Amino acid sequence: MSSDLWRFAESFYQRPEVEQACLTLQGLGSDVCLLLCAAWLGKRGVSYNPEHAEKMRLLARPWQHGVVTALRQLRQDWRTAANHDSELALLREQVKRLEIEAERIQLQRLAALTVGWQDGPEETLTAWLQGLAPVLNETGRDALEQLHIAAQYR
């Protein structure tokens, strides 16, 4: 498996306003790994296909909910207590590293799924981002637009 998606995700996440947009979308129920993959596919010019988007959702959902979200929830649950317990703070950092590794694995699986998907002539970035984001309120739409803007620049 190529590490292109992981490298893209790491670099993209560091761009101004992307982290906050991702956290906003995550708080509204979006799977950020799916959205990062959507931006990657759109940047590469891979044609948006609703069937492919559904395959991505089906692949991602069990891992996202059973592993990534479970680790994230544990880490968040320990936030306050870790401020007063140095051993728990160390464990919390280990959980954070596991959460990031779980996201890397999810992106690896998504990238493997997309091998062979065809490029297309239409503007695909918008289609991928909108196709893989849940129905969003105005705040979510603004955050998705921030991702779109950030993905348009190298």
The residue extents of the domains of the chain are: 4-44+51-115+123-151
CA dihedral 99, 100, 104, 106 (to 10 degrees): 30
Q: Which residues of 36-51 are buried (b: 16+ CB within 10 A; e: fewer)?
A: bbbbbbbbbebebbee
What is the model's pLDDT at position 152?
82
Q: Along the chain (154 residues), what's the average pLDDT of each consecutive run of 10 residues?
A: 81 92 93 96 92 97 97 97 97 98 97 89 82 88 91 76
* pLDDT score of 16: 83
pLDDT at 119: 76
Q: What is the pTM of this model?
A: 0.90
- Residue 154 has a pLDDT of 60
With beta carbons less than 8 A apart as the criterion, state whether 107 and 141 touch: no
* Cα–Cα dist 147/123, whole Å: 15
Cα distances from 26 to residues 5, 81, 99, 140, in angstroms, run 19, 23, 14, 9
